[in-house]
Structure 1
Amino acid sequence: MSAKKPIKHKARKRFGQNFLQDQGIIRQIIRSIAPHPSDHMVEIGPGLGALTEEILSEAGALDAIELDRDLPPILRTKFFRYEDKFRIFEADAMKFDFNELRQDDDRPLRIVGNLPYNISTQLIFHLLSHAGDILDMHFMLQKEVVDRLAAKPGDNNYGRLGIMAQYYCDVEPLFIVPPEAFDPIPKVDSAIVRLTPHKTLPHVAQDLTMLKRVVTTAFTQRRKTLRNNLKELISADKLEEIGIDPTLRPERLTIADFIVIADQLSSTQ
C-alpha cells in the first residue's frame, strides 16, 4: 500500500498488488483499527508502507510479512527510526506460522492487511486456524468477499467462507473503498471488514474436520437440497431424525444446524 509518489515500485500482477494511496481512506482505516502503544500489530502485505507508517506511530510493535522481495529494503530504509519495534519477515503469509510471532510476547496479535484478491479466501482460512493467538483482524478485501464473510442464513452469499469465519469470529463489515483509492485502479470495489475471534465459541463442534467436510459437501451444488448434496454422508431419514429438514437447500441452515449434522456423523464413526 502506498501513500507517497517518490518511491518507485511497479505493482506486480502476480502478487495481486494494488497500492492504497487515498489519504482520507488511510485515516479512516487507522481510526477503525485504533492502534495502541500496548498492541502487537501484524501487517500482511505492507507494500510501500501507507498504513505501516500510521500504525508504527501508534503501536508498541509491528511485524510485517511481505512476499515481494524488492519491498523489505524500501520499508527498512523508510522506517529505520522504528527499528526497535519494527520487524519484516520476507515470507508467504499463506505458509507463515503466526504462532512464531508470540514466542517472546504474550500479547495477542492484531492483524491488518490489504489482502490480494486471488488468495484472500485461502489466507483467511489459514488465519482462522490461528484464531486463539489473535485479538482482531482488519482486512481490505474485495467487497464480494466481505459480503460472503458476513452473510447470514438465507442470503445468496451465505456459504462455506461465512460459516467457518463466523464459527470462529464476529464479522463486522465497516465501509466500502472505491477503486480510485488504489494504484493501479482495480476493476472491483473493496471493503474493510473487522474479524474478532470469539473469546468463547457460541457453538462447538465435536470434530472440526467433520464440520468442514459437511459444510463443504453441502454447498457443492448449492441449488440442490441437503437430501441430494449430503446423501453420501447421511441419509434423509437420519437428517429428519436429528431435526434437520432434508428438503432444505444448504443456505437455509444455521451454523448450529451444520454442527448438529457433523456431531451426528462424528458420534457414529
Structure 2
Amino acid sequence: MTQGTDGDRDTDGNRGTGARRSRDPDALRARAGVHGDPRKDQHFLVDDRVLDRLPGYLRTAADHVLEIGAGTGALTDRLLALGRVTAVERDPDLAAFLREEFADEVAAGRLTVLEGDALAVDLPDFDASVSNLPYGPSSELAFRLLPLGRPLVLTFQREFAERMAAGPGDDDYGRLSVAANHYADVELVETIPPEAFDPQPAVESAVVRTTPRDPAYDVPSSDFFLQFLKAVFTQRRKTMRNAVRNTAHISGLGDPEAVVAAADEDVMSARAGELPPEAFADLATLAWEVGEPS
C-alpha cells in the first residue's frame, strides 16, 4: 500500500488537504457516538490515505456519485469534492447523523441521504459509484450495480475481489469472474489491511474498479446466461458434459442431452474453470436453442 502522511488537523479534527480540509474519520465517529459493530457488518474505513485515494480511482468525471454504506461520512466527505453525492445508509441513526453533519451540503442540494437497504431502495440515476461496501451483501450489491453500466470503485473482502478479477485458468476463476466480466472490465487496484478499519475485520479487503462495456459476444438472454453459469459452476470439477447433464434442475434445461450431443467435443471435455467467457456464451446460446429451457 502506498504510504503517506496524515497531515495537520484543525481543532475540529479535520485534516488539511491543500485548499480543502477533509473531515477526520475518527472525529466523525466521535461526533456520531458510534464505534462500529461487526454483528451489524459495520467496519468503518478510518485510514485517511485510503479514503483520499478511493475517489481518484475513477477514470472519468462524475457529476453525480452514488455511495452505498456511507456510515459516518468519511468517504462521503471526499466524494463531495467530485460533485453531487447520493449516500445510501441503512442504519437510521447514522442516516440522521449524516443529515446533521452535512446539513450545509444537504441544504445546497449537493448531498442526498437515502435511508434504507441498498438492495431494496430505488436508486437514483448516477454517473459512478464509489463505495466501501458491507461485506455480507457485497455480491448482491455488486450485481445490482454492474448491470446499470456505470463505472464502479468498490471495496470487498480480498478473496471476493480476487475472484471477480480472475481470468480463465486462474485458481480464483469461477462463476463470479465470468458474470462480472459479462458487464465490465474488472481490475483489482489496491489491497487494504485490516488495520485500515475500525473495528478491524478478520480478513484483508481490496478495491475493485470496473469499467463498463458490452461483452465481446452475444447471448439470447442475460438472465439465462447467468443462470446457466450458476448451474455448470456448481460442478466445476466435472467435465462440461457432466455439468450440463447434472444441473438441468438449476439451469432450467428441459433437454440437456440435446445440448451435450450438439456441442463441440473439446468444450464438453473441458472443465468450467478452463473455459473463457466466450465459450460459455456460445454454449449458453446453444443450450437456449436446443435445450428447451423453461
| Structure 2 contact 132–156 (Cα < 8 Å) conserved | yes
State the alpha-carbon separation in 1 of the partners of residues 198 and 173 from structure 2.
31
Matched, 1:40 2:58: no
The answer to whether structure 1 residue 50 and structure 2 residue 64 are counterparts is no
Report if aligned partners of 2:181, 2:215 keep a CA contact under 8 Å in 1: no
Larger Rg: 2
Residue in 2 that maps onto 1:70: 93
Give the partner amino acid of 1:256. Answer: E
Deviation at 1:34, TM superposition (A): 6.8
How far residue 2 of structure 1 moved from its aligned partner, in angstroms, is 7.4
2:278 maps to what in 1? 256
1: CA distance between counterparts of 2:86 and 2:59? 17
Normalising by the residue count of structure 1, what TM-score does the alignment of the two structures yield? 0.88
Partner residue, 1:194: 209
Counterpart of 2:173 in structure 1 is 158
Gaps of 5+ in 1: 103-107
CA contact (8 A) 2:216 2:278 kept: no
1:139 aligns with 2:154: yes
1:69 maps to a residue whose letter is P
- Alpha-carbon separation, structure 1, partners of 2:26 and 2:203: 23
For residues 262 and 116 of structure 2, what CA distance do their matches in structure 1 show?
A: 47
TM-score between both structures, scaled by the size of structure 2: 0.81
Q: Quote the offset at 1:257 in angstroms.
A: 0.5
The answer on whether the counterparts of 1:2 and 1:48 sit within 8 Å (CA) in structure 2 is no
Q: Which stretches in structure 2 are left out of the alignment for 5+ residues?
A: 1-22
Does structure 1 residue 82 correspond to structure 2 residue 96?
no
Confirm whether residue 206 of structure 1 aligns to residue 224 of structure 2. Answer: no
Q: Give the direction of change, closer, same or farther, for the CA distance of 1:79–1:35 in structure 2 (3 Å limit).
A: farther
Is 1:119 matched with 2:137? yes
SS at match of 1:194: strand
Identify if the C-alpha distance between structure 1 residues 35 and 206 changes in structure 2 by more than 3 Å, giving closer, same or farther. Answer: closer
SS at match of 1:230: helix
Counterpart amino acid of 1:31?
A: G
> What is the percent sequence identity of the aligned residues?
33
Aligned pair 1:19/2:41, yes or no? no
